[in-house]
Amino acid sequence: YSPQLGIRVHHGFEMMAKVLFDNMRPYLRKDYALRISGQSLGAAEALILAMMLGKDGYQVEKIITFGQPKVTDEQGVKAYGSLPLTRVVDMNDVVPLLPPDSLVYDDDPYVHFGSEVVLLEGDHYCIGDNSFSNRKIPKSMVKELSVPEVQNLLQQHSIRGYVSSIRDKLVNSNPVPCSEANRYLPAADRLPAQ
């Protein structure tokens, strides 16, 4: 539980965001519109930092994260769900699925919020409602992984992996409904039909 934010958040992410908040606050003005971004651990910290700044009266105009893990539960979503958050998620990146559903506190799992842009294969992408990143960890990722498989997962999570996937969409992008995103996933990883 974070007394500063009034919600439950991942403690490690919050500690790092607090350091950033304390270090940058002397340089900020409340009449400035702030844009915050981060990738991976930095994405989690960026979101919690935005929560802290918003709560302290700063104007958070936009938050864009890449490969962000989950940072809070449903109560956190209720309290901060109006933040202008866009999460960019690569379809092959496991980090946005963490912490897993099996890690719950008082039967209240961590969940994502904000607008979700899912980078699919090639020039395809979808903009969704967080069902992609709030799904269970795909079966193909719940096994003993070989070194090449681990290296591939790390590549998909790296900022280079994200840049490469976005580059595929710069010249010709092809939005698809998120209801069709399953077509771009291996059969074992597909979401169950709604």
- Residue-wise pLDDT for 59-99, tens only, equals 999 999 999 999 999 999 999 999 999 999 988 788 898 88
| Phi, psi values for residue 89, rounded to 5° | -130, 130
Which residue stretches of the chain have pLDDT < 70? Answer: 101-106, 137-153, 185-194
The pLDDT score that the predictor gives to residue 193 is: 47
Calpha distance 10→27 (Å, rounded): 26
Give the Cα separation of 77 and 151 in Å (integer). 33
Find the helix or strand (DSSP H, E) in which 74 lies. helix 74-80
DSSP letter at 32 equals: S
Residue 87 DSSP SS3:
strand
pLDDT at 131: 79
- pLDDT, position 122: 84
pLDDT of res. 62: 98
What pLDDT is stored for residue 145 in this prediction? 58
Q: CB-based contacts of 47: which residues, under 8 Å, 6+ apart?
A: 38, 63, 65, 68, 71, 83, 85
pTM for the model: 0.86
